Each structure stands twice: as structure tokens, then as C-alpha cells.
Amino acid sequence: MVGAHQSLISRLIRVIRKPAFWLILGLFVLITLSHYSEALGYTELFAYLIPGIGLTRHALERILYLVPIIWAGFLFGFRGTIITSLVALACMLPRAIFISPSPTDAIAETGAVFVTGSAISSLLAFSMKLLHREREYTNQLRMAQQELITSEERYRELFESANDAIWLHDLQKNIIAANKSLSRLTGYTLEELSGIKSDQLFTEGCIDDIKEWECLSSGVEAMGHLSEATLVRKDGSEAYVQLSTNPILSNGRVVRFQHIARDITQEKQMQKNLHFYLQQVTRAQEEERKRISHELHDETIQALVVLSRQLEALASSSEGLPEQSHLRLEELRQKTNNIMQGVRRLSQDLRPSALDRLGLLAALERLAAEVMEYSGIATKVNILGNERRLGEEVELVLFRIVQEALRNAVRHSQATSAEITVEFEQSKTRIAISDNGKGFSLPQTIGGLAKDGKLGLAGMQERAQLIGATLTIESQPGKGCAITAELPA
């Protein structure tokens, strides 16, 4: 309520500040003084004018009230019309009712002036309002056109200066616009690009994928599809691009597509080089593990066996030795056997012989038995589907992933049981390792494993990538850990 009063007061102040308000008010005062001027005498001006135009003096004065009424309607609209008409009526009625010698005629003239003035002023106010609206609409249209022109210029500037290759094609795949970056990327000139179809820019294997991406992006308004594709340059060479596909709509219908391609050829080459480097490093590591394992088995373990037997023979042949010396020799023989078992286990960890001779499943069975023997964690292996051998490198990598997962369970999880599940399907092979340990909180991304100090898990991820497998890790505090490696057939 207070706000409405303040708004009304502020509008009144704005009206009062206008010079036209005071001019209209002055007109009202002059006309009204003339209308009630019997006591002051008849003015010479009206004495000459009135007989010439065929009106009585007071009829002319009533007509003169139309001037401020129409003027107010022109300047202040309907509100000005209503207020000035009422003021004029209030000024004329006392004269017509109480002073005029012909009240009936005077009241009729007063009503006619009131109605005529209100009608003309209202019509004028309405016309001015329509004109004002038309001007506003014209200004808005002009501003919208200017903004559209500015927006198009900005888009064109961004389109032309973008580092990424951008082009548009219609539903028939005809390229209708392209920027200079696409010309640099493909080797075609802009004129040549305008005469070819978008499909000609990609390898045959990517064309069907792009059609599918366009269908997918058409179903989600204002959202594109991001993917990778192989682009064919004019000279026949290939480039890897990260492709964003976006539909352009008109009245809710797709009328064309916009593609944005970022050249990632160098990044892809670096990834390939890194992949090759990691592959070679892993192979070198495994070869070194194999060599050390064979040396431990063929030399160190054999030497320990000979030493154990010599100690045993020495203890049994030295009848004159004191009892304490016999006990000491037996203790040394037992320690030698323990060292021999540890070295044998180390040799198996470095390169399990069962993996080379019998394959992955036998090596996993052996690994589960060893883990249960030295850690006390009940470990079992489940095999689902039709068993089959995998490539030597693949089996080795999968074995290392399982080995590292069980090693983490032994060292950190405080688990009492673990399970290895190998599932053979027609299109893929899946290995899952789970335990009932204390679990842990996962980082938001796999890349955060190394940062959080979980180097074993990071190494498992790297190994999985070497053979094209995907590794997923699921864990929560108090709910154990589950690691799954999935390899396409």
C-alpha cells in the first residue's frame, strides 16, 4: 500500500515538473475567469469576436475549454483526458446552473463540450498510444535487426578465425559453408569444399558412424555428439580428429548439421608411441622376470638344495659332535629349507611355470592355493563358460592383474576371503577379483589412483590398456573391493 502511494506521488511530481502542465493550468484559469467575468465587465476582445462568429459569449468560452482538454489528451493520454474533462465540467456547471439566464441550453452546451472534448481527446490519446506502440515496435525491430546483424558478424568472425575446422552441410550431405581451418586440415580450397559432400572427408569405416551420430544428436535439442573419426585429406593421407556433431533446427525440424573437428593426430601418435613404449617396457620386465626366475630355479634353489643336504649329511655323520652342535646343524638346515621355500615362491611370483606350461586357468588355481597357504585368506577360483586359451601376452597380463589384486588384498584389505571369477563369453572374456576386506574410497577418476598413492591399481589399469581391456574398480569403506577386467574376443 505504501509503495502504491509512493508510486502515485512520484508520477504526480513528474507531471507537475512538465511546462505543459502549467500552460494547461493557465489556460483553465484564463478561460474560467472569462467565463465568470460579469462582475468585471465585458472584454473588448469578445465584444468584437462573438457577433462575428454567431455565438453567444459563454458558448464560445465553453468551446474554448476543448483546447486544454484536447491538449491534455495529446500530452498525458487517457488519464489527462479524464482529469481535464472533469475539471472543465466542474468549471462550467456552476455558471450553467446558477448564473446562466438559460440553464437548460447552458447545461446542454456544457454536456456537449464535455462529451465532445472527451471523445476527441480520447481518440487523440488512443491514436498517440498506437503511434507510440508502433514507434516502440519499430525501434525494437530495428534493434533486433541490428543485434541479429551483429550476432551474425560475430558468428562469422568466430567461424572464420576458429582454430578448429568447422563446416555445415544440408540433409543431402552437401557442404554449404566451411572455414579456413577445414581448408588447412583437408588440403582442399574453400571453393573445392563447397562442391563436395561431407562424407568424402572421412574413411569408409567412419561414414556409417557419423550418420549414427547425427541421428543421435538430432534427438537431443541443443546437444551435440562428441566422438573420434578418421579424416581423409586431399592427398590421401589420414588425420585423426575429435568430432562434435550438432543439429541446426528451424521450426523444430533439423535442416542441417554443423561439424567441428579438432586435429588430434599428434596426440594420437603420442598415445601410440606411449602405448608402444609401455608395451616394450612391460615385455622387457617380463623377460627379465623370466630370466631371474630361471636363474633362481636353476642355480639358487639348486645350490640351496645341495647346501641343505650337506648340512643333513654333516649332522648325521658327525657322531662325536656334542648335542648342542647337532641341534645347531639341524637349525641351520631348517633355515636353509625355509630360505629355499621363499626363493621358490619368489621364483613362482616372478614367472609362474604353470602359466607357460598349462595356461592361465592352471596358473590362477596355483596362485589361489599359494595365497591361501601363506596368508590364510580363503581364495577360490570360479570358471564360467567354455574354457579357451588366450594369447600368451594376454594371459600374462591378466595373470599379473589378478596377482596384483590378491597381493593388495593380502597387504591392505584385512580380508578373510577372496574370489576369482573367470567368465568366457562368445564376444568377450571377463575376470573379476573380489574380497570382503575393509575397502577404500575411490578417486573421482582412474587417473587419480597414482596421485593417491595406489600405484598397484594404477599399474593394473596400464596393463589392461596394453591388451585393449577395460578395468573397473568398485570399492567403498567397509564393503570390500571388486576389480573387473573385460577383454573383447
- For the stretch 349-388, pLDDT in tens is 666 777 777 888 888 888 888 888 888 889 999 999 888 8
- CA–CA gap between residue 278 and residue 298 (Å, rounded): 30
Element holding 256 (H helix, E strand)? strand 253-263
Residues contacting residue 67 through CB under 8 Å, at least 6 positions apart: 27, 31
> What's the pLDDT at 451?
54
Give dist(CA 441, CA 459) in Å, integer: 18
**Structure confidence at residue 51 (pLDDT):** 47
Q: How far apart are CA 391 and CA 468, in angstroms?
A: 13
- Residue 34 has a pLDDT of 73
- Nearest to residue 182, comparing CAs of 170, 193, 195? 193
- Whats the size of the chain, residue-wise? 489
What pLDDT, on a 0 to 100 scale, did the predictor assign at position 50?
47
Cell of 483: 576389480
Interhelix angle 57-64/66-94, nearest 10 degrees: 130
299: confidence class by pLDDT, cuts 50, 70, 90 = confident
- How far is C-alpha 314 from the geometric centre of its chain's CA atoms? 78
pLDDT for position 192:
85
- For cell 620386465, the residue is 285
Q: How far apart are CA 137 and CA 150, in angstroms?
A: 19
Question: Above 70 in pLDDT, residue 252?
Answer: yes
Dump strand ranges (E) for 38-160. none
Angle at 335 between CA 334 and CA 341, to 5 degrees: 90
- Give tens-digit pLDDT for 154-167: 777 777 778 888 88
Contacts of 398 (CB under 8 A, 6+ apart): 360, 390, 431, 467, 469, 485, 487
Strand partners, 378: 417
Dihedral over Cα of 150, 153, 155, 157: its sign: negative
Rounded to an integer, what distance in angstroms lies between the CA atom of residue 282 and that of residue 137? 73
Reduce the DSSP state of residue 174 to 3 states and report it: strand
Given a contact cutoff of 8 angstroms between Cβ atoms, the answer to whether 185 and 231 are in contact is: yes
pLDDT interval class at 435 (50, 70, 90): very high
Relative to beta strand 417-424, strand 175-178 is unpaired
DSSP string, 352-421: -HHHHHT-HHHHHHHHHHHHHHHH--EEEEEEES------HHHHHHHHHHHHHHHHHIIIII--SEEEEE
> Parallel, antiparallel, or unpaired: how do β-strands 417-424 and 378-384 relate?
parallel
pLDDT averaged over the chain? 78
At 390, the amino acid letter reads L
- DSSP 8-state assignment for residue 239: E
Strand order in the sheet with 470-475: 378-384, 417-424, 428-435, 481-488, 470-475
**The C-alpha cell that represents 54 in the structure block:** 454567431
Condensed to tens digits (0 to 9), the pLDDT of residues 92-103 reads: 777 777 777 777
* Highest mean pLDDT: which range of 37-51, 54-68, 319-333, 359-373: 359-373
Q: Which residues of 148-163 are buried (b: 16+ CB within 10 A; e: fewer)?
A: eeeeeeeeeeebeeee
Residue 153 C-alpha from the chain's centroid? 26
pLDDT above 70 covers a percentage of the chain that reads 81
288 grid coordinates: 627379465
Contact between 273 and 253 under an 8 Å Cβ cutoff? The reply is: no
Question: How many angstroms separate the CA atoms of 487 and 313, rounded?
Answer: 54
- Whole-model pTM: value is 0.48
Q: Are 260 and 231 in contact (CB under 8 A)?
A: no
Side-chain half-sphere exposure of 203, counting CA atoms within 13 A: 12
pLDDT in tens, 172-221: 888 888 888 888 888 888 888 887 888 888 887 776 767 666 665 555 44
Residues 6+ apart with CB under 8 A from 340: 301, 304, 305, 308
- The rounded distance, in Å, linking the Cα atoms of 238 and 201 is 10
